Structure 1
């Protein structure tokens, strides 16, 4: 099917529908036949893969000094961290961490932590 002529600004003329437009089927009486007939068959296309020639390839280069990250760690960041008790107290519910949530966590992740690690986690 030849393409319809375009207007000077590149748009399709108003009286010619877009090829992807879906039209209703004519009934058998209107078409004068026993089967249903479509007026225009819509065409669907997918975007083509990008050719290998247009592939974006990384380039080995050094990072400019303007974009270099400088870390200035002063002192020991672990010095202010609280010490963990290796023998925590038995679990007691606090805030949103209820006994129900503790049991659910233990049930859904068996074997992830040892028993001692699990007691310390519940103490936090």
Structure 2
């Protein structure tokens, strides 16, 4: 019974975290033009990366407690086995999507910053003429 309680509690926490990460990830993907400065975006992205890293121990714990529970019920529940595999694959997908997303956002922000700087230089040069 204790294995079930631990697993369910940790699974609930993980589902809440993954749901929050998914929502944040979707919001970041939908942003076409950033509305904040580069430092703010970099800070937000660093915080997001930290949150993903913090979530890792809980994921590992859920997988471990789930495997213990699965052994306790002697493989009588294919649903639990499938659920654990689904959790593992979703967490892997989250990790694989995070890095390219962060890189593309930072690249876009740096490009915008460079364009803004170039425009200001051109405006300053034309006002001197």
Q: TM-score normalised by the shorter chain: which range applies?
A: under 0.3
For CA contacts below 8 A with separation 6 or more, give which structure has more relative contact order: 2
TM-score by length of 1: 0.23
Q: What TM-score, normalized to structure 2?
A: 0.22
Structure in which a larger fraction of residues adopt helix:
2
